[in-house]
Amino acid sequence: MTKDQLISGIAKGDSRALSKAITMAESTVQAKKDIALEIIDHFGPQQESFRIGITGTPGAGKSTFIEAIGIELLKDKSKKIAVLSIDPSSEKTQGSILGDKTRMNKLSSHNRAYIRPSSSGGQLGGLAKNTRLAMLLCEAAGYNTLLIESVGVGQGETEISKLTDLFTLVLNPGGGDELQGIKRGIMEMADIIVINKADGDAEKQARLTAKEYSMALHLMPDNAVTARGDEVWIPKVITTSSIEVKGIDVFWEKAFEYQKLTLANNWKIENRMDQMLYWAKKSVQDILLSKLKNYETEIVKGLAKGKLPELIAKEIVL
């Protein structure tokens, strides 16, 4: 498909054209990526979208949770959902299972939902290298609600907060050591904390866990988001059962409450401008690094000679 055909298809909401454009954005061939960038530039920024980042501990049921909240939101016929899920890559082969469409089979069959799994490619921060470009292409195709699921490996996944309007942390029932392990870092970034799997024998434990996290959040005053005057957002802790579809409506109630608050005084626009600054700097670093030919070979040679890493870097760059 030509660039003009892709633009036309994306404007019509054609998922095939959207998938092709995302594949080009993820390509390591610069000419293909450049076409994707031109397509994104053609459509310009889509300020009306609602970007929700979702991460959490392994086994917390993030995919099931995403399917449950997606199906609930699609009851509103004005909503179109795009799910961008990032799966971890193998350290040896860089391969990835990419099984989210299988795990979200109900949502993936909906005509107003689009699911795109991607491999992290070994990237740090919980995202794939070009997740942001995929998100912008989905917005260009008319998807007004973006659910971005990061890898889910620990508290280092704060980069997703540089991409989204609302950051959701999904956890298992049971606090204790887990609470101690993530009380700083990723927990400081969360706007909503979801204690999932609150059903059956685990329901009581989930409520107790939610209480523990609520108490911990009140000890972190810097976690409040000021949106207008003296109005602040204190991160909410809720319990849900994706299987029994309990608490899903409460999640959206809190999410839209947050969205309404942060729209005041252009906080959302200011936040997105800060995010653009972050990604511009990151892009500059990536381009500069790509122009340093054979830098990995030079690093190995320098280390073999016993040179300090800082001196090796200075020699390569200057």
H or E element in which residue 115 lies: strand 113-119
Give residue 201's identity as a one-letter amino acid code.
Answer: D
Q: How confident is the model at residue 88 (pLDDT cuts 50, 70, 90)?
A: low
**What average pLDDT does range 246-268 have in this prediction?**
90
Q: What's the pLDDT score for residue 247?
A: 95
Q: Which residue has the higher pLDDT, 51 or 291?
A: 51
- Three-state DSSP state, 247: coil
The two tokens of residue 55 are 């991460």
Domain ranges of the chain: 1-44, 46-268, 281-317
Number of residues written out for the chain: 318
CA 56, CA 171: separation in Å to the nearest integer? 6
Q: How confident is the model at residue 95 (pLDDT cuts 50, 70, 90)?
A: very low
CA 245, CA 114: separation in Å to the nearest integer? 21
Chain mean pLDDT for the chain:
84
pTM recorded for the entire structure: 0.85
CA–CA distances in Å: residue 73 to residues 112, 165, 194, 263, 283? 11, 17, 17, 20, 34
Thinking of the domain 1-44, which architecture would CATH place it in?
A: Up-down Bundle (1.20)
Contacts of 301 (CB under 8 A, 6+ apart): none
**Residue 180 pLDDT exceeds 70:** no
pLDDT digits 0-9 by tens, 280-309? 998 898 888 878 877 888 899 999 999 999
Q: What's the pLDDT score for residue 185?
A: 62
Least confident of 54-63, 106-115, 229-238, 241-250: 229-238
CA–CA distances in Å: residue 202 to residues 3, 172, 198, 241, 244? 52, 9, 6, 10, 13
Inter-residue contact 249 to 255 (CB < 8 Å):
no
Q: How confident is the model at residue 19 (pLDDT cuts 50, 70, 90)?
A: very high
CA 253, CA 70: separation in Å to the nearest integer? 14
| Residue from 315, 271, 273 nearest 297 by CA | 315
Q: What's the pLDDT score for residue 237?
A: 93
pLDDT digits 0-9 by tens, 214-243? 887 776 655 555 544 556 788 899 999 999
| % residues pLDDT > 90 (the chain) | 48
Question: What is the residue-wise DSSP string for 194-207?
Answer: EE----GGGHHHHH
Q: Which residue has the higher pLDDT, 53 or 129?
A: 53
Assigned fold of 46-268: Rossmann fold (3.40.50)
Inter-residue contact 77 to 138 (CB < 8 Å):
no
Give residue 186's identity as a one-letter amino acid code.
Answer: I
Q: What's the pLDDT score for residue 93?
A: 44
Residue entry with tokens 């409040």: 224
What single DSSP character describes residue 29?
Answer: S
Q: Which residue has the higher pLDDT, 12 or 1?
A: 12
CA 301, CA 305: separation in Å to the nearest integer? 6
**Residue 124 pLDDT exceeds 70:** no
SS3 assignment for 212-238? HHHHHHCCCHHHCEEEECCEEECCEEE
CA 149, CA 52: separation in Å to the nearest integer? 9
pLDDT digits 0-9 by tens, 261-286? 888 767 788 889 999 999 999 889 88
